[in-house]
Amino acid sequence: MMVRRISSGSLLLAALCLSGGFVHAEPAETATLKSNAARTIAFVHPLPRMKADDVSVGDGNSGTFAVPGVATTGDGRLATFVWNLRKIVQNQRRKVFVDGRALTCSINWIRDHIHQSKGFRHWEHDLTSFLGFILDTQRDDGQFYEMLLPLDRTAHWKNSSPNCRRLYEDDFISLVRFEIEADIEYLMVEGSTRVWRATGNDAWLKAALPRLEKGIDYLTGAPKRWDAAHGLVKRGYTIDTWDFTFRPDPDTGADLRRIIPGYTPMGIMHGDNTGVCAAMKSLAAVNRRFGDVDKAVRWERRAEELRGNLMKHLWNGTFFRHQLPTDGFAARDGIEARRLSLSNAYALNRGVLSLAERRSVIGEYMRRRSTTEAFAEWFTIDPPYDPTFGENGKFPKEEYVNGTISPFAAGELAKGAFESGYEEYGWDIIARLQKLVEENGGALGFLYHPRNRAPQGRGPSGWGAAAILDAIDEGLAGIRDVDVLYRKIAFSPRWPVTPYNEVRYITGYEVSSVYVDCRYVRTDRGFRYNLRSPAREIQAHLLMPRAATPRLLLVDGIVTSFSLAVVGESRYVDVAVSPSNGVVDFEVLY
DSSP output for 154-176: HHHHTTS-GGGEEEETTTTEEEE
CB atoms within 10 A of CB 558: 8
Question: Which of 199, 356, 351, 336 is closest to 283 using CA atoms?
Answer: 351
pLDDT at 4: 39
Grade residue 440 by pLDDT with cuts at 50, 70 and 90: very high
Q: What top-level class would CATH report for the domain 4-83+477-589?
A: mainly beta
Who's near 235: CB < 8 A, 6+ residues apart?
Answer: 180, 181, 182, 225, 266, 267, 268, 269, 272
Does position 309 have pLDDT exceeding 90, yes or no? yes
pLDDT at 21: 36
pLDDT in tens, 24-62: 445 557 667 899 999 999 999 999 999 999 999 998 888
Does position 6 have pLDDT exceeding 50, yes or no? no
Q: What is the mean pLDDT of residues 171-200?
A: 97
Does position 153 have pLDDT exceeding 80, yes or no? yes
Q: What is the mean pLDDT of residues 389-401?
A: 86
pLDDT: which is higher, 8 or 241: 241
Q: What is the mean pLDDT of residues 365-386?
A: 98
Cα distance between residue 301 and residue 307, in whole Å: 10
Q: What percent of the chain has pLDDT over 90?
A: 85
pLDDT at 61: 81
Does position 20 have pLDDT exceeding 70, yes or no? no
Q: What is the mean pLDDT of residues 364-389?
A: 97
Q: What is the mean pLDDT of residues 403-423?
A: 98
pLDDT at 251: 57
| SS3 of residue 408 by DSSP | helix
Does position 18 have pLDDT exceeding 50, yes or no? no
Ordered DSSP codes for 16-53: HHHGGG------GGGGG-GGGTT-SS---S-SS-SEET
Q: What is the mean pLDDT of residues 437-456?
A: 96
Q: What percent of the chain has pLDDT over 70?
A: 92
Grade residue 161 by pLDDT with cuts at 50, 70 and 90: confident
pLDDT in tens, 575-587: 999 999 999 999 9
447-448 and 537-543 as β-strands: parallel, antiparallel, unpaired? unpaired
At 204, give phi and psi (nearest 5°). -65, -45
pLDDT at 22: 36
Grade residue 228 by pLDDT with cuts at 50, 70 and 90: very high
Provide the CA 155 distance to its chain's centre, in angstroms: 31
Does position 449 have pLDDT exceeding 70, yes or no? yes
Cα distance between residue 210 and residue 188, in whole Å: 12
pLDDT: which is higher, 330 or 275: 275
Cα distance between residue 497 and residue 590, in whole Å: 16
Mean pLDDT in the chain?
Answer: 92
Provide the CA 236 distance to its chain's centre, in angstroms: 25
Does position 88 have pLDDT exceeding 80, yes or no? yes
pLDDT at 247: 73
Q: What is the mean pLDDT of residues 332-339?
A: 94
Does position 252 have pLDDT exceeding 80, yes or no? no
Does position 9 have pLDDT exceeding 70, yes or no? no
State how far the alpha carbon of 132 is from the alpha carbons of 144, 191, 202, 207, 505, in Å. 11, 11, 15, 10, 32
Ordered DSSP codes for 234-285: -EESBSTT-S-BSS--TTT--TT----STTS-EEEEHHHHHHHHHHHHHHHH
Q: What is the mean pLDDT of residues 501-514?
A: 98
